[in-house]
């Protein structure tokens, strides 16, 4: 059986077309060797039509010609080596070591596409992760096994927030349980990647971090495989070794743009804003790889970061992400301009899993009522602010004036927090009650009488 071919029919962008191919499998990996010595290029079969195969080349097609290239079919999908040795290592978007530490050898290899988890085998996540960040712990509680993205904009401090979460989060709360961080960078700038690496170093976790890096000037085809490699590594560490894994994926917007670029070059029918119609399914195939499984110890918690083009939350990337992930942390330029870090806009933010992971037995019994009340009060603050802009603060009723005061203090004292400030959950909850004491009791309609008696206005 022939599995090596010496002629290319067509080369276009990242694609090469071969003919008279037999026995090729859909999605298998091919190796391309050009005569100029540039070796080890890989590609993936994306279309088979009779004896023709379309191969998408990782890296670039520069230097390939229709006669100088030999193509070998491997018969296997893209796999990466898996062992505990990967901890502390850095790889490129197709899982090749780039830290000079040599290749990782392991008998165990994982298909980067993974397999969907059977919904029956999933374990519903319920364990609260304390991040030490008040706005998140109180109002957008992170749960172990959750996928909670940060919706940010260019120039907003999403990287700082992610690093603060990594540093402060108590991902493995039980004694003796192990944790690790998997970091996937897709199309980020060199200095951004450096910031993360430096921060990991400073907080002394570098030997527990696995990195898959595809920088802004690296080949875009590899941008598609970067998060898949990272998640395959995460699944291995979580479900084979029982570790609690925090996965940071940044920047999902660059990932989606790479997907669009490739889709356009394949002349696919575009849907919204030129993104391919399968963007939702494609994103789901990444995000759904978070979670916990019955009978296995580990967990995968995902914090994808995306920058909303023009701060527009209805843009397809944040929009489709929000439909798949279990909530979102939205950063706001307005709040940041008022010199508040982290600039979390709590109203459009949400943690869907919070309802089952807070309250009695998890955080504290007053947490659900308190969070609900603060959301409702703060949403009224926004309305009162609009009104105050029109009629002036002096003409506001007494109650409305108190709303304004609550809003000010809430942002200045609860949302605002130092980059190195770590507040525990009791501190945060008490602060919440303290702020609510600004409001008259009649306005607190979300708090049950029993809870109010116990915690209200001390």
Partner 1 sequence: MAENKGIISMINGPVIRGRNMRAFRMREMVMVGKDRLIGEVISIDGDKATIQVYEETEGLKIGEEIISTGRPLSLRLGPGIIGSIFDGIERPLDAINRMSPGYLPKGIGLISIDEEKEWEVSLLVSTGQKLGPGQVFGQVQETGSVMHRLMVPPGISGTVVSVVPDGRYDLNQVLVVLRDDNGREVPLKMMQEWPVRTPRPVMKRKPIDRPLITGQRILDMFFPIAKGGTAAIPGGFGTGKTMTQHQLAKWSDADIIVYVGCGERGNEMTEVLEDFPALIDPRTKRSLMERTVLIANTSNMPVAAREASIYTGITLAEYYRDMGYHVAIMADSTSRWAEALREISGRLEEMPAEEGYPAYLPTRLAEFYERAGMVETLNGQEGSVTIIGAVSPPGGDFSEPVTQNTKRFVGAFLALDRRLAHARHFPAINWLSSYSGYMDRLADWYKENAASDVVDLRAQALRLLHEETKLLEIVKLVGEDVLPDDQRLILEIARLLKNGFMSQNAYHSEDTYVPLSKQYLMLKTISHLYSRAYKAVRKGIPISRIRDDKLFDRILRMKYTIPNDDLSGFDGINREIDRFYDELDAVYA
User: Within positions 307 to 346, which residues make up the interface with partner 1, using CB under 8 A?
Assistant: 313-316, 319-320, 322-324, 326-328
Cα-atom radius of gyration of the chain, to the nearest Å? 25
Residue 137 CB, nearest approach to partner 1 (Å)? 17
The strand pair at 15-18 and 90-91 is best described as unpaired
Coil, strand or helix: which one is 299? strand
Residue 157 contacts partner 1 per CB under 8 A: no
13 forms part of the interface with partner 1 (CB under 8 A): no
Please answer whether residues 392 and 384 qualify as being in contact, where contact means their C-beta atoms are separated by less than 8 angstroms. Answer: no
The two beta strands, 90-91 and 209-215, are parallel
In the complex with partner 1, the residue whose CB is nearer, 173 or 372, is 372
Does position 1 bind partner 1 by CB under 8 A?
Answer: no
Burial 393-406 (b: 16+ CB within 10 A, else e): eeebeeebebbbeb
Q: How far apart are CA 294 and CA 239, in angstroms?
A: 10
Distance CA 155, CA 339 (A): 13
Residue 22 interacts with partner 1 (CB under 8 A): yes or no? yes
Question: What are the two backbone dihedrals, phi and then psi, of residue 299, each rounded to the nearest 5 degrees?
Answer: -155, 155
Interacting residue with partner 1 among 387, 401, 404, 431 (CB under 8 A): 387
Toward partner 1, which CB reaches closer, 24 or 344?
24
Residues 114-153 that bind partner 1 (CB under 8 A): 114-125
Number of residues lying near partner 1 (CB under 8 A): 84
- Least CB distance from residue 192 to partner 1, whole Å? 27
CB nearer to partner 1: give 38 or 333.
333
Cβ distance to partner 1 smaller for residue 143 or 163: 143
- C-beta neighbour count of 4 within 10 angstroms: 11
Give least dist CB 409 to partner 1, A. Answer: 20
Q: How would you class 101 by CB atoms within 10 Å of its CB: exposed for 0-12, middle for 13-18, buried for 19 or more?
A: exposed
404 touches partner 1 (CB under 8 A): no
Q: Which stretch binds partner 1 (CB under 8 A): 16-24, 55-63, 96-104, 181-189?
A: 16-24
> Which ranges of 221-366 does DSSP label H, i.e. alpha helix?
221-235, 241, 252-265, 279-287, 316-324, 333-337
Shortest Cβ distance from residue 44 to partner 1 (Å)? 10
Please report whether residue 285 would count as binding partner 1 according to CB under 8 A. yes
Site string for partner 1, 240-269 (x = CB under 8 A): ----------------------------xx
Regarding 448 and contact with partner 1 (CB under 8 A), the answer is yes
Cα separations (Å) of 411 from 134, 381, 403?
11, 11, 12
* Part of the chain binding partner 1 (CB under 8 A), chosen from 95-103, 195-203, 348-356, 431-439: 348-356
> Is there binding between residue 375 and partner 1 (CB under 8 A)?
yes
Q: How many CA atoms lie within 13 A of 343 on its CB side?
A: 18
């Amino acid at each position: 059986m022939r599995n090596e071919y010496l002629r290319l029919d067509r080369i276009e962008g990242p694609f090469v077309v071969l003919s008279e191919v037999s026995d090729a499998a859909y999605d298998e990996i091919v190796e391309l060797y050009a005569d100029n010595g540039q070796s080890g290029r890989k590609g993936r079969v994306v279309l088979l039509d009779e004896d023709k195969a379309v191969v998408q080349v990782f890296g670039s097609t520069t230097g390939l010609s229709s006669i100088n290239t030999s193509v070998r079919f491997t018969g296997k999908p893209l796999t990466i080596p898996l062992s505990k040795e990967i901890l502390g290592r850095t790889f490129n978007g197709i899982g090749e070591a780039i830290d000079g530490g040599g290749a990782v050898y392991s008998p165990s290899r994982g298909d980067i596409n993974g397999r969907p988890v059977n919904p029956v085998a999933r374990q519903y996540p319920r364990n609260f992760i304390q991040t030490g960040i008040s706005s998140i712990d109180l109002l957008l509680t992170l749960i172990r096994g959750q996928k909670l993205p940060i919706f940010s904009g260019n120039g907003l401090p999403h990287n700082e927030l992610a690093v603060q979460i990594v540093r402060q989060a108590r991902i493995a709360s039980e004694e003796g349980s192990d944790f690790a961080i998997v970091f996937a960078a897709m199309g980020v700038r060199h200095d951004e990647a450096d910031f993360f690496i430096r921060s990991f170093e400073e907080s002394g976790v570098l030997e527990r971090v696995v990195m898959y890096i595809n920088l802004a000037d690296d080949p875009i085809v590899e941008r598609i495989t970067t998060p898949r490699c990272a998640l395959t590594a995460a699944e291995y560490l979580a479900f084979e070794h029982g570790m609690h894994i925090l996965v940071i994926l940044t920047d999902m917007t660059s990932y989606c743009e790479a997907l669009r670029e490739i889709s356009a070059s394949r002349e696919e029918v575009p849907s919204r804003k030129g993104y391919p119609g399968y963007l939702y399914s494609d994103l789901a195939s990444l995000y759904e790889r978070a979670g916990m499984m019955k009978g296995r110890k580990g967990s995968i918690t995902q914090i994808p970061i995306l920058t909303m083009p023009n701060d527009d939350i209805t843009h397809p990337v944040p929009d489709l992400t929000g439909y798949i992930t279990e909530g979102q942390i939205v950063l706001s330029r307005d709040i940041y301009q008022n010199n508040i870090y982290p600039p979390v806009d709590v109203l459009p933010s949400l943690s869907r899993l919070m309802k089952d992971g807070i309250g009695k037995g998890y955080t504290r019994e007053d947490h659900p009522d308190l969070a609900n009340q603060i959301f409702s009060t703060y949403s009224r603050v926004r309305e009162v602010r609009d009104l105050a802009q029109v009629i002036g603060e002096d003409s506001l009723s007494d109650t409305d004036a108190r709303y304004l005061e609550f809003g000010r203090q809430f942002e200045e004292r609860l949302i605002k927090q130092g980059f190195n400030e770590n507040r525990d959950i009791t501190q945060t909850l008490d602060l919440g009650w303290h702020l609510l004491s600004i409001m008259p009791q009649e306005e607190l309609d979300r708090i049950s009488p029993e809870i109010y008696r116990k915690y209200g206005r001390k």
